[in-house]
Amino acid sequence: MQMETFWAVAHVAATNGWPLHQVDIKTVFLRGVLEQGEKVYMKQPKGFKAKGEEDLIWELQKGLYGLPQTGRIWNKAVNQGMLSLGFMRIKCKYCLYFHQTKDGTVLTGIHVDNFLLTTSSLLQATNFKQQIASIWEISDLGKAKFCVGITIERDLANHHIYLSQTALIDKNLASFNMIDCNPVSTPMEPSLILSRQLDIVLTRQEEIELLDLPYRRLVGLLMYLTIATQPDIALAVQKLSQFMNYYHPIHWNTTKHVVWYFKGM
């Protein structure tokens, strides 16, 4: 599910004052069936070897965690399941499904095993959950409060929905040992100009230290935050993403500056 799909479902719920719920499908990558003629084999895993047939291999009939095509297998399975319930897949957003009946409307966005859904009534939400529970084993998470790393808060009276990623930001502040960093008020220093700095010669020790820095991982995280809930860091992230294969200490320090900005917020 792309962020546009997430926003669309949340927007419809906020505008109409509809319920916004979340459902999780259990062990989704074990639900899809391999297509006829598709042959996949695997060694017997430790602890599950058939007695007296330890040298044999298995031919898979269904998807399995770790297979390159598992995501595609589940995508086909979920599409078939949703179509069987009368849903229509939106052509421009393949993870967005819509169903209109005389009893009401259901709109749901799917992110792997997470269904974010809004319905015109609570009865419709209950009916939808019963329908998909007849196909797959589900966990009913009730009102959507935390989905794909995004915290959801509602102001029903004013038809507002607030999205934030405070938990994800705090988690990564800790993972990058920046929980006690000094906060700053801007995502990037206004006068700073980043370049490849070809005239700077690093020592061998500095080059080794740079290789150990999680620069790409941190910039990747910042990209996700930018797209999801933090457009205010877009310019800084756009600049930093130009140096994924050639970065110096100044680029790393600038990346940390963005994280310090989150601390200030």
Verify that 201 and 240 share a domain, yes or no: yes
The answer to whether position 74 is within a domain reads: yes
The answer to whether position 59 is within a domain reads: no
The answer to whether position 58 is within a domain reads: no
Verify that 187 and 147 share a domain, yes or no: no
The answer to whether position 42 is within a domain reads: no
Verify that 144 and 178 share a domain, yes or no: no
Query: In Å, what is the CA distance from 85 to each residue of 22, 97, 127, 135, 222?
Result: 18, 11, 11, 10, 38
Verify that 153 and 217 share a domain, yes or no: no
Residue that the structure tokens 């007296």 belong to: 52
Residue at which a domain ends, from 164, 179, 201: 164
Verify that 156 and 225 share a domain, yes or no: no
- Work out how many domains the chain is built from and give that number: 2
Verify that 8 and 100 share a domain, yes or no: yes
Residue at which a domain ends, from 143, 164, 185: 164
Long-range CB contacts for residues 237-245, cutoff 8 Å, separation at least 24: 239/188, 239/194, 240/194, 242/194, 243/194, 243/196, 244/215, 244/216, 244/219
Q: Which pLDDT tens digits describe the chain residue by residue (265 residues)?
A: 788 888 999 999 999 999 999 999 998 888 888 888 888 898 888 888 888 888 888 888 888 888 888 888 888 899 999 999 999 999 888 899 999 988 889 999 999 889 999 999 999 999 999 999 999 999 999 999 998 888 999 998 999 999 988 888 888 778 777 777 788 888 888 888 887 765 666 667 766 777 778 888 889 999 999 998 889 999 999 999 998 888 888 888 898 888 888 877 7
The parent domain of residue 123 ranges over 3-33+66-164
Cα atoms in the Cβ-side hemisphere of radius 13 Å centred on 174:
5
The answer to whether position 49 is within a domain reads: no
The answer to whether position 137 is within a domain reads: yes
Verify that 88 and 182 share a domain, yes or no: no
